[in-house]
Chain A
Amino acid sequence: MTSAMAPPANREIGSDVYNEKLGMWVFLGSEVMFFTALIGSYIILRFASPEAFAAPGNVLNIPVTAVNTFLLICSSVTMVKAFAAVQDGDQRGLRMYLVATCAIGATFVGVQVFEYNQLVHHGFVPSGYVAASEYAAQAGTPGWPESVGVYSSSFYTMTGFHGFHVSMGVLCMSFVTWKAFRGKYTQTDHRGVEVIGLYWHFVDLVWIILFTIVYLM
């Protein structure tokens, strides 16, 4: 009997996995390259113009973002538990943990929006300092660059696109959750859950890298 969660039947042996899972892995490969372009550019710009980058903690709010990071990691845990639940045939567990993942994911985005708001309010926008703002007043003091354009450019672009990816993830996760509530995922076929899980873990991993490089270093 053919299982939807096995590689396609009646085919030459290709990979060990069904199409959707292979497709997601392949797609994530392209996402790795996308974030490499952004993060790689940040690293290059940082080495080329270290004076344009603020010391950790001065511009960015590390405590709040650290909590946010912890939240995102928690959402990966709930995602794992959702997948384990459906593997065990536990529909209730699946739905509960999917809802939790959505909620935490949405919270992460919310916190990030809050963070952006704070930064703009203090005078830190993609093009650099806002004239006559609180942060602009610090320019030139230790740990605060004279002008910060390349730092702000790369910060907003990297975290912004990550946030965009999380948002898309939350949307897709909501769709998967809705399908779960309609009983569309079974113990024998829960491909959608596994595949969105892969994406979700990837987005989490990118954030851990970003948080380390951008906020802590």
Chain B
Amino acid sequence: MATSALPHADAHGHEHDLSFIRKYIFSTDHKIIGIQFLLLSLIGLFIGGLLAITLRWQLGFPGEAIPGGGILPETMAPGGILLPEFYNSLVTMHGTFMVFFAIMPLLVGVFGNYLIPLKIGAPDMAFPRLNMWSFWIALPATVLMISGFFMAGGHAAAGWTAYAPLSANPEWTGVSGGQKVWLLSIAILGMSSILGATNYITTVVNLRAPGMTWFRLPLSIWALFLTSILVLLAIPILSGAAIMLYFDQTIGTHFFDALDGGQPLLWQHLFWYFGHPEVYILILPAMGFVSDIISNNSRKPVFGYHSMIFAMLAIMGLGWIVWGHHMFQSGMNPALGTTFMVSTLLIAVPSAIKTFNWMGTMWRGNIRLNVPMLNAVAFVAMFVIGGLSGVFMAVTPVDIYIHDTYFIVAHIHYVLFGGSLFALFAAITFWYPKMFGRMMNSMIGKVHFWLTFLFYNLTFWPMHNLGIGGHMRRIYDPSEYEFLQPLQGMNTFITISAILLLTTQMLFALNFIMSWFNGEKASDNPWKDNGVEWTTPSPPPHGNFPTVPIVYRGPYEFSSPLVEEDFLPQTRKLEGDQEPGAAQNEGDR
């Protein structure tokens, strides 16, 4: 195979003579693969939400039969009343689905795939067939994870963090097949992620269009690129740990049990060495999307573009040396607690920098409060709460009290829902027209936003207060404890808010599905944005660009004095713009 290292652009706009299967099922087109991940992960998100509501039912109405619980088997919920072992499994699987099968694939699998080639001006990923494999490995991993619910003994029940020895020996949980399937599924999914990261990194490094220098890349691409490096380096650690735990369960190795020199804390170190970079994987792309969307809707350049990149690099770097803050109370050497406290406090700084830069972008802007902007601003407002609650945990003596309480649960959900998920609502709405050629309905979008924002805060804000009251995590029946009884009303309140929150998401689902068929047809650039993807039709053809795009400037030239319009696309050439010098890689630089 000789010449072109690039998947070719289809100059005349003909679709290939590919069968339906090759075009839409086993497709190597990054756009189709991105949409496949979108559909799969929205299902994952829905499953995660259902699991949450189910466990919340037990917390809000302990011992009462859940409506519709009759369909659950006796082993999980006799008479519709949840059993403690099923509750532990729900808690575990809610976290598992949300982290691995919803947020991560949505941020990285969907938008990494969809946006990277388009926004850098490439016809596709560097390795389109490998990209196809990424999806077709993720799908069986998902099916395998779902199958755990149907195993004897139920699904994994040791928390999404799977601490050993609880997770290592079926004797302690009563769960055998479920925990094994959990580990296998995670390991397989990890392969999908690693292949994807390899693809993304190679693509961003090697396939940028002429003129698309590093410092003209949109922050969404910077974020996806840095996230891919984190994925590349962190996921294999989890794979290694999962394999060791799997062997402990199946062939009698002793990595994590205390017999024969095994170390329970080793699991925690390995898991969190992966797990902390993982949480930055779950937030960095969201930060990138929000930067693009806030800039676009303020009609202003991003404030402090270089600082934003520096902050992301700092987060990426510091993210490797804070893992012990999940282990302050674990029994690890307390001196380590002090060192991890220092690094953890420091990592607050780059997030603060980004928050102020987002505000700086809005300052003196010309703000359009459309659906993407509403959700993007909500990201900033809610993520900052999540970040600030983190400071309490970083201060180690305070962590003694709030570790493993609902204060942590509040923190997690403010950064993951208030942060990542609002950013995803923004991103999906923003790029939907490019993906599907239709606009999502703005009125439904706004109603969805406001109701979600309201019910989300009503659900998760009180969890801070539960934590302050000492309410532990993963507790099937808080009424066992006298000191928790005054807090029970709050539990019920949270449950009702959560039910309303989940119900509200039907609006988003409806909007998503209806707009696909009936949405207002989208022009090439409905948001009047500068990114390279908006120079293509909505949706773009296979191969994306009939001719190689040339980039003349950065992505955030809104309200530029150089032109009448309040936006100035990256690929628009103005008088006096120089052609990129290094367009031909022929040895002379």
Contacts and interface: CB of A to CB of B under 8 A. Distances in A.
Contacts of A147: 259-261
A188 B205 CA distance: 23
B232 interface: yes
Given A7-B585, A41-B240, A126-B252, A33 B210 contact: no
B285 to A, nearest CB: 18
Interface residues of B, number: 62
A161 B244 CA distance: 11
B210 A30 contact: no
B201 A26 contact: yes
Interface stretch (B151-159, B191-199, B390-398): B191-199
Contacts of B197: 26, 30
A30 to B, nearest CB: 5
Interface string B249-287: 001111100011111001001100100000000000000
Interface string A152-185: 1110110001000000000000000000000010
A116 interface: no
Given A8-B6, A11-B206, A45 B255 contact: yes
B240 A26 contact: no
B5 interface: yes
B193 to A, nearest CB: 9
B251 A189 contact: no
A19 B126 contact: yes
A41 B4 CA distance: 44
B19 interface: no
Interface in A50-103: 51-52
A150 B207 contact: no
Nearest to A53: B261
Nearest to A49: B261
A33 B237 contact: yes
Contacts, number: 182
Interface residues of A, number: 52
Given A12-B582, A48-B263, A33 B233 contact: yes
B247 A157 contact: yes
A35 B273 CA distance: 14
A156 B580 contact: no
A149 B263 CA distance: 12
B589 interface: yes
B194 A128 contact: no
Nearest to A186: B2
B243 A15 contact: no
A133 to B, nearest CB: 15
Contacts of A157: 243-244, 247, 253, 255
Nearest to B127: A23
Contacts of B6: 8, 10-11
A217 to B, nearest CB: 17
A18 interface: yes
A126 B555 CA distance: 56
Given A37-B270, A41-B240, A161-B243, A12 B262 contact: no
A152 B198 CA distance: 33
Contacts of B261: 45, 48-49, 51-52, 147, 149-151
A12 B201 contact: no
B583 interface: yes
Contact of B244 (A15, A31, A41): A41
Contacts of A128: 252, 254, 260
Contacts of B198: 23, 26-27, 30
Given A37-B270, A128-B260, A23 B202 contact: yes
A7 B130 CA distance: 19
B212 interface: yes
Interface in B151-182: none
Interface in A1-55: 2, 4, 6-15, 18-19, 22-23, 26-27, 29-31, 33-38, 41, 44-45, 48-49, 51-52
Contacts of A26: 197-198, 201-202, 232
Nearest to B3: A2
A22 B126 CA distance: 10
B194 A27 contact: yes
A27 B251 CA distance: 29
A188 B2 CA distance: 8
B213 interface: yes
Nearest to B239: A34
A120 to B, nearest CB: 12
Nearest to B273: A37
Nearest to B210: A12
Interface string A104-147: 00000000000000000000011110000000000000000001
Nearest to B580: A12
Contact of B254 (A10, A150, A161): A150
24 contacts: A4-B5, A7-B206, A8-B5, A8-B6, A9-B585, A9-B586, A12-B210, A14-B204, A22-B201, A33-B234, A37-B236, A37-B240, A44-B263, A44-B269, A45-B266, A49-B263, A125-B252, A126-B252, A147-B259, A152-B253, A153-B254, A153-B262, A188-B2, A189-B2
Interface of B: 1-6, 122, 126-127, 130, 194, 197-199, 201-202, 204-213, 232-237, 239-241, 243-244, 247-248, 251-255, 259-263, 266, 269-270, 273, 548, 551, 580, 582-586, 589
Given A15-B205, A149-B252, A188-B2, 14 more contacts: A7-B585, A8-B6, A11-B122, A19-B5, A23-B202, A27-B194, A30-B232, A36-B240, A45-B262, A45-B266, A126-B251, A127-B254, A128-B252, A150-B255
